[in-house]
Amino acid sequence: MAQRLAGKVAIVTGASKGIGASIAKHLAEAGASVVVNYASSKTGADRVVSEITGKGGRAVAVQADVAKQADIQRLFAEAKKAFGPLDVLVNNAGIYEFAPLEQVTAEHFRKLFDLNVLGLILASREALKHFGPTGGSIINISSVVATAAPPNTSVYSATKGAVDAVTRSLAKELGPRGIRVNAINPGMVETEGVHSAGIAEGDFRKQVEAGTPLGRIGQPQDIGPAAVFLASSEASWITGETLHIAGGFR
């Protein structure tokens, strides 16, 4: 079981911390060679790579802003140079920003949609050139807010609703090429992003926990194993799905 992804090559965007780092480490533990992408946190990405290689895994860190086309092309070229043809793309890079309606600006909208939606689409498009003839697996990191849509998250929730729609559409479009497209929709997970947003503690967290049947928020390690499953041959007849990992929160 330990090497379910032996010989596979994966790119994880936004993998220097949080959910992305957990997914990168879980994919590597399952035998995949992993490209740890980061936008600005080289230190974090290097730490993830050293954790993986320290356990005998294969990983490299590659800087790229996936909201930029040129960066995406360079990311995939570097991945190919390091490990060869691609098997798995995890679209995890995203911005986590809330604002009440009075504070929503065009800049806020574009910043979130450019990375959370356009970046995901452009990275998926680039992946098409790098998957082998047998296809591959695209895993989009969405969120329960795609459907739960709490107050003050109109733009963020809209980006994740778009991610779910893109996931379903691409699953139908790319299925004939042997490319599966699924989404993981986490609930509130205790990450650096949640801490920097100032909601890791306090009333918001208490509200979420009160509405979660399993009574707690998630940890990054709660998400990684699902990505391994969706990337593996065990999920070979699963596409177009949104897997909620949220302790039962809806």
Candidates 142, 140, 151; CA nearest to 189 is 142
Nearest Cα to Cα of residue 92 among 52, 119, 71:
119
Q: Which parts of 55-144 are beta strand (E)?
A: 58-63, 88-91, 136-141
Q: Catalytic annotation on 156?
A: yes
Look up residue 85 and give its two tokens: 């043809």
Residue listed under structure tokens 């299925």: 175
**Residue among 76, 156, 229, 249 flagged as catalytic:** 156
Distances in Å between the Cα of 136 and the Cα atoms of 54, 63, 181 are 27, 23, 9
Neighbour order of strands in the sheet with 33-38? 58-63, 33-38, 9-12, 88-91, 136-141, 179-186, 242-245
By the 8 A CB rule, do 231 and 10 touch? yes
Nearest to 186 by CA among 222, 152, 154: 222
Which among 228, 213, 233 has a CA at the least distance from the CA of 243? 228
The angle, 0 to 180 degrees and rounded to 10, between the axes of the packed helices 154-174 and 120-128 is 20
Q: CB neighbours of 204 closer than 8 A, spacing ≥ 6? A: none
Catalytic positions, written as ranges: 156
